[in-house]
Amino acid sequence: MKKKLNLSTKILIALIAGIFVGILLQGSPEIADKFIKPFGTLFLNLIKLIVVPLVLASLVVGTFGLGDVKKIGKIGGKTLAYFLLTTAFAVILGLLLANLLKVGAGYTIPVDATADAKEIPSFIDTLLNIIPTNPFKAVVDGNMLQIIVFAIMLGASIMAVGEKGRSLREGFEGLAEAMYKMTGAIMEFAPYGVFALIIPVVAVHGPKVLLPLLKVIVVVYLGCLLHAILVYGGTLKIFANYSPLKFFKLVLPASIFAFTTASSAAALPLTMKSSEEMGVPKSISSFVIPLGATINMDGTALYQGVCAFFIAQVYGLNLTIGQQVTVILTATLASIGTAGVPGAGLIMLTMVLQAVGLPLEGLALIAGIDRVLDMARTSINITGDAACAVIIAASEKELIEKPVKTGGIPA
């Protein structure tokens, strides 16, 4: 009897095949853009279709499923602490690698290079905008921070009213289950979506185009790999006594999908599925994972450190220890402040450059390869979300040990 390939294997095959086809189409990127990319866009539209109702329903159910208002604060506090600490470590690692490997040495920026600084939300505006004045508008606009705050408040309120909120509770439970079912159906098309999305990226950003900035790409990718092994692998072993190897095998489908789409929100359904296969109960995964998809940006923070150092070097400037500490603090806090904003990585980089007085014109070079860098940092972001979910579940003594299936990558 022929063994059926699991989803992660199909996605991996689709990724490799897409890269190969993209290389073949380097001379004619318009073909990839016109005839292949629309299929990837269609798949992303299906993902976008489910993200908002999935986050809203799963967070409401996850919140009242905790059973205790105090537990919400406890789990929320531990989750936020993990995200902030790992983000700070990511920036430090990025700066350390940039210093050791002299990431910007030998490069020059063209004289006519320009870059438009995007509008940066102030700290006060960020705090005020977290609370939605109209939750329905937040849902329509897809403002994930506001949706998360509203969902947690609604879930806690349903829990507080007890029996009177039973019908509302059952309604959200039904909606959540329906969204899980819809998500599963859409995910069956993930390999085709990955194939169609990766081809235009490779066709447009060929090796010749990326060669001048290859060192930046290598350092960011190396930093992301080290961060995953040292931070996620280490904390899983220390705080959850969970096998890092088992974790990375189970999170691989979500990581590959995030790498291809460069979207934490798009990878959200697969990240939640992976965490549940690791033994994380839905009551925790449906709370931690959507929260992490919005505010946890380890890969993006690491990228800030590398890019800030790169821009300083190409302009012949030296970042002092004090300035590098400022980079760490700014990138860590900005990871929450710019969450859910389109182009969040470049907005965060704008904030970091301004904080240490570096020229914003340096964004011109980074913007040219941002899509390639975005793939790695998004993959790390969602890997961190899953690691946090496992650690939180273990700390609450709710982690369910599940055997790993043999024969390739676990399904």
Q: Which residue has the tokens 């349903």?
A: 158
What pLDDT is attached to residue 106? 66
Residue 406 tokens, joined? 């043999």
Residues in the chain: 411
d(C-alpha 184, C-alpha 56), whole Å: 17
Tell me the C-alpha to C-alpha distance, in Å, between residue 318 and each of 6, 108, 224, 323: 50, 15, 24, 9
In a domain, 21, yes or no: yes
In a domain, 265, yes or no: yes
What pLDDT is attached to residue 237? 95
d(C-alpha 198, C-alpha 260), whole Å: 6
In a domain, 346, yes or no: yes
CATH number at residue 325: 1.10.3860.10
In a domain, 404, yes or no: no
User: Which has the closest alpha carbon to 220: 91, 118, 319, 322?
Assistant: 91
User: Under a CB-based contact definition with an 8 Å cutoff, are residues 40 and 134 in contact?
Assistant: no
Query: Does residue 221 have a pLDDT over 90?
Result: yes
Query: Does residue 338 have a pLDDT over 80?
Result: no
User: Which has the closest alpha carbon to 309: 351, 358, 343?
Assistant: 358
Over 152-187, what HEC string results? Answer: HHHHHHHHHHHHHHHHHHHHHHHHHHHHHHHHHHHH
What pLDDT is attached to residue 246? 95
Residue 17 tokens, joined? 């095949």
Query: Does residue 245 have a pLDDT over 90?
Result: yes
Residue 360 tokens, joined? 């914003």
pLDDT class of 126 with cuts at 50, 70, 90: low
Mean pLDDT of 86-100: 92
- Sign of the CA dihedral 273, 274, 276, 280? negative
In a domain, 1, yes or no: no
Of the listed ranges 76-90, 105-119, 152-166, 256-270, the one predicted with least confidence: 105-119
End-to-end Cα spacing for the chain: 18
Give the helix/strand (H/E) hosting 392: helix 363-395
What pLDDT is attached to residue 407? 40
d(C-alpha 74, C-alpha 84), whole Å: 16
Find the domain containing 34 and state its range. Answer: 7-395
User: Under a CB-based contact definition with an 8 Å cutoff, are residues 224 and 379 in contact?
Assistant: yes
In a domain, 2, yes or no: no
Residue 208, number of CB atoms within 10 A of its CB: 8
Count how many domains the chain has.
Answer: 1
Give the helix/strand (H/E) hosting 41: helix 37-65
In a domain, 401, yes or no: no
pLDDT class of 116 with cuts at 50, 70, 90: very low
pLDDT class of 162 with cuts at 50, 70, 90: confident
In a domain, 322, yes or no: yes
Q: What is the mean pLDDT of the chain?
A: 82
Amino acid letter, 157: S
Query: Does residue 194 have a pLDDT over 50?
Result: yes
Q: Which residue has the tokens 């709370």?
A: 287
